[in-house]
């Protein structure tokens, strides 16, 4: 005998015994209370008995029913029974969901939830954003207010590659649209030219450039005449049957020129002569 | 202090060497042009003075051959002597980078400069001896112990030289 069933039997037998004992004590009481048998007394005794029995049975049922139900439920697959036997749709249809929702403490529910993690795990944000009408959002956006709060200069300096942008700019096209005449009208060309002329020593520049060109030309002529001298000397040497051309250094010229070498302002020719290598 | 003009590397080896006939000839030709310009300027100046004195009867002054020859030789001699006695170079020598020096490589004394100028003026053919001479010296150079050397520097070497102690 299983413990549950034993409990049930004990729960049923106990009250029954108690019922018998209680009936006996009631009849005995009746006998003592009623010295003369009568109808009224019997009705009263019966009522008392019924009342006692009813209370006893109720007490027994209070013990018996839960035990029996528990035993029965433990042997049943209540979910399957409900699924098979109950029309849940009909039940739910009759439920006043609004009333349930009205009683629901949404804030408390949300407080217990990690909505951020929940959204990240369960929501396809890309799909949602893809369906968002960005144009409509942008149309409602107060761009001026947004820009007002931003330091655009610093933002551009930090985030924008200005060199790359400028490199792609069509300067020619920009210049083509430029109103040069208007720019020139605003410039004091005469004053500007005067300032430039004042800053530059133009005559000195012209003299320098002219002198440079003339100097190069003169040097070319000098070198050519030197080469011509060499040719003439070789021809004369051949005509006169000279084997070797003699140095053309002045006899006494070298010594005084060498003395001039230590003088800082001495012209280079003295140093050249002093440190001269064999004649080219 | 004046910085000397830079001398090209290809010309440095010739500095201090006697010049040959071509270089000296080109320099002489330039000197001839200068003398011609001086004579022309003198002639025009003289004509201008005559015009100022008597404009109505003015006509270009006529010159004789003797006058022309004398004036040319005189101007040429003065021009050469002045150049050699001061900087050691005439304008033609300046352009060609030449300098006339004495036997010590220094500026010609005034008398030597005058004598050389006179010698070159009256006996110019002696200058051609430099083409034949082994040492590239003309007759004037041999007689007066002078030399015409390449010197592309801007200033005369003796300009910056300290005074030479007496021997």
Q: Give B1 or B112, the one with higher predicted confidence.
A: B112
Which of A229, A98, A13, A56 has its CA nearest to residue B97?
A: A229
**Axis crossing angle, helix B65-86 with helix B110-122, rounded to the nearest 10:** 140
- The answer to whether the CB atoms of A268 and B7 lie below 8 A apart is yes
pLDDT of A53:
84
- pLDDT tens track for A38-61: 667 777 777 888 888 888 888 888
> For residue A62, is pLDDT > 70?
yes
Kindly state whether A276 is in contact with chain B, defined as any CB-CB distance less than 8 angstroms: yes
- The answer to whether the CB atoms of A245 and B154 lie below 8 A apart is no
Which of B95, B80, B85 has its CA nearest to residue B158?
A: B85
Q: How far is B95 from chain A (nearest CA, A)?
A: 7
> For residue A162, is pLDDT > 90?
no
The nearest alpha carbon in chain B to A236 belongs to B132
- pLDDT tens track for A232-279: 888 888 888 877 655 555 554 433 343 333 333 333 333 334 333 334
How far is the C-alpha of A174 from the C-alpha of B34, rounded, in Å? Answer: 60
pLDDT of B93:
94
Contacts of B89 in chain A (CB under 8 A): none
Per-domain boundaries in chain A: 3-84, 97-140, 194-246, 249-280
Contacts of B2 in chain A (CB under 8 A): 265
Contacts of B22 in chain A (CB under 8 A): 225, 228-229, 232
- pLDDT tens track for A78-98: 888 888 888 888 888 888 888
> For residue A133, is pLDDT > 60?
yes
Q: What are A31's strand-pairing partners?
A: none
The encoded tokens of residue B63 equal 């010159």
pLDDT of B120:
94
The nearest alpha carbon in chain B to A266 belongs to B160
Question: Which pTM does this prediction carry?
Answer: 0.48
pLDDT of B118:
95
- The answer to whether the CB atoms of B157 and A225 lie below 8 A apart is no
How far is the C-alpha of A3 from the C-alpha of A7, rounded, in Å? Answer: 6
- The answer to whether the CB atoms of B132 and A240 lie below 8 A apart is yes
pLDDT of B50:
92
Contacts of A245 in chain B (CB under 8 A): 134
Q: Please, which residues have CB within 8 angstroms of residue A230's CB and are 6 or more apart in sequence? A: B20
The nearest alpha carbon in chain A to B17 belongs to A249
Which of B4, B150, B94 has its CA nearest to residue A223?
A: B150
Q: Please, which residues have CB within 8 angstroms of residue B106's CB and are 6 or more apart in sequence? A: A256, B157, B158, B161
Judged by CB atoms within 8 Å, which residues 192-221 of A form the interface with B? 215, 218-219, 221
Which of A199, A222, A218 has its CA nearest to residue A210?
A: A218
Indicate the pLDDT class of residue A11, thresholds 50, 70 and 90: low
The nearest alpha carbon in chain A to B9 belongs to A272
Q: What is the mean pLDDT of chain B?
A: 87
pLDDT of A6:
62
How far is the C-alpha of A34 from the C-alpha of A41, rounded, in Å? Answer: 7
């Amino acid at each position: 005998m299983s413990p549950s069933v034993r409990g049930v039997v004990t729960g049923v037998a106990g009250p029954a015994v108690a019922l018998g004992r209680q009936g006996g004590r009631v009849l005995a009481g009746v006998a003592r209370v009623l010295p003369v048998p009568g109808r009224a007394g019997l009705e009263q005794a019966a009522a008392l008995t019924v009342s006692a029995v009813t209370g006893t049975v109720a007490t027994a049922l209070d013990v018996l029913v839960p035990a029996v139900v528990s035993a029965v439920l433990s042997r049943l697959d209540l979910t399957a029974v409900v699924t098979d036997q109950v029309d849940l749709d009909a039940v739910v249809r009759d439920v006043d969901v609004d009333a349930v929702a009205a009683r629901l403490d949404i804030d408390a529910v949300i407080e217990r939830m990690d909505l951020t993690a929940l959204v990240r795990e369960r929501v396809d944000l890309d799909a949602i954003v893809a369906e968002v009408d960005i144009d409509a959002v942008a149309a409602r956006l107060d761009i001026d207010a947004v820009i007002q709060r931003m330091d655009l200069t610093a933002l551009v300096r930090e985030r924008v590659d200005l060199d790359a942008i400028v490199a792609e700019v069509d300067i020619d096209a920009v210049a083509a649209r430029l109103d040069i005449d208007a720019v020139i009208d605003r410039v004091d060309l005469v004053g500007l030219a005067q300032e430039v002329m004042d800053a530059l020593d133009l005559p000195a520049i012209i003299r320098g450039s002219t002198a440079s060109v003339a100097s190069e030309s003169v040097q070319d002529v000098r070198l050519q005449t030197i080469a011509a001298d060499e040719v003439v000397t070789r021809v004369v040497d051949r005509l006169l049957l000279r084997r070797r051309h003699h140095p053309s250094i002045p006899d006494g010229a070298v010594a005084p020129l060498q003395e001039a070498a230590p003088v800082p302002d001495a012209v280079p020719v003295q140093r050249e002569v002093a440190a001269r290598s064999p004649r080219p | 202090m004046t910085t000397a003009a830079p001398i090209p590397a290809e010309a440095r080896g010739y500095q201090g060497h006697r010049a040959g006939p071509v270089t000296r000839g080109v320099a002489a030709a330039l000197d001839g042009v200068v003398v011609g310009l001086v004579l022309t300027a003198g002639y025009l100046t003289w004509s201008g003075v005559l015009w100022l004195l008597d404009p109505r009867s003015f006509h270009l002054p006529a010159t004789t051959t003797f006058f022309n020859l004398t004036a040319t030789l005189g101007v040429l001699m003065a021009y050469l002597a002045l150049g050699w006695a001061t900087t050691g170079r005439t304008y033609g020598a300046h352009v060609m980078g030449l300098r006339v020096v004495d036997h010590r490589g220094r500026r010609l004394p005034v008398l030597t400069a005058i004598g050389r100028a006179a010698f070159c003026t009256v006996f110019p053919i002696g200058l051609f001896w430099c083409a034949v001479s082994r040492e590239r010296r003309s007759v004037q150079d041999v007689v007066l112990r002078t030399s015409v050397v390449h010197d592309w520097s801007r200033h005369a070497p003796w300009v910056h030289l300290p005074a030479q102690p007496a021997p």
